[in-house]
Amino acid sequence: MAINLLSNNNWMIMMMIPIWVFSCLALILVPIDASRAYPPLSSIADPVLPTEKKPPFSQIPTDRQAHSPGVSEIKVIQHEDLNKKILVALIIASTLLAGILLFLFCFWIFKQKHSQPLNTNKNPKTQDSSKGLSLGPILDKFTPRITGRKGSVTDIDYEWLISATNYFHEDNILRVETSGNVYKARFNDHFVAAVKKLHGPEPDAQKGFENEVDWLGKLKHQNIVNLLGYCVHDDTRFLVYEMMHQGSLDSQLHGPTHGTALTWHRRMKVALDIARGLEYLHERCNPPVIHRDLKSSNILLDSNFNAKISNFALATTELHAKNKVKLSGTSGYLAPEYLSEGKLTDKSDVYAFGVVLLELLIGRKPVEKMSPSLFQSIVTWAMPQLTDRSKLPNIVDPVIRDTMDLKHLYQVAAVAVLCVQPEPSYRPLITDVLHSFIPLVPIDLGGSLRA
Count of C-beta atoms within a 10 Å radius of residue 352: 29
Ramachandran angles phi, psi of 197, nearest 5°: -100, 110
What is the number of other CB atoms lying within 10 angstroms of the CB of residue 76? 9
CB atoms within 10 A of CB 307: 26
In angstroms, the Cα distances linking 27 to 30, 52, 84, 91, 234 are 5, 42, 16, 15, 83
Give residue 69's identity as a one-letter amino acid code. P
Cis bond leading into 69, ω under 30°?
A: no
Residue 302 annotated in active site? no
Query: Residue by residue, what is the 3-state secondary structure of 316-371?
Result: EEHHHHCCCCCCCCCCCCCCHHHHHHCCCCHHHHHHHHHHHHHHHHHCCCCEEEEE
Are 6 and 111 in contact, with CB atoms under 8 Å apart?
Answer: yes
Q: How is residue 36 annotated by DSSP?
A: T
Which residue of the set 293, 346, 349, 397 is catalytic?
293
237 touches 230 (CB < 8 A): yes
| Catalytic sites, residue numbers | 293
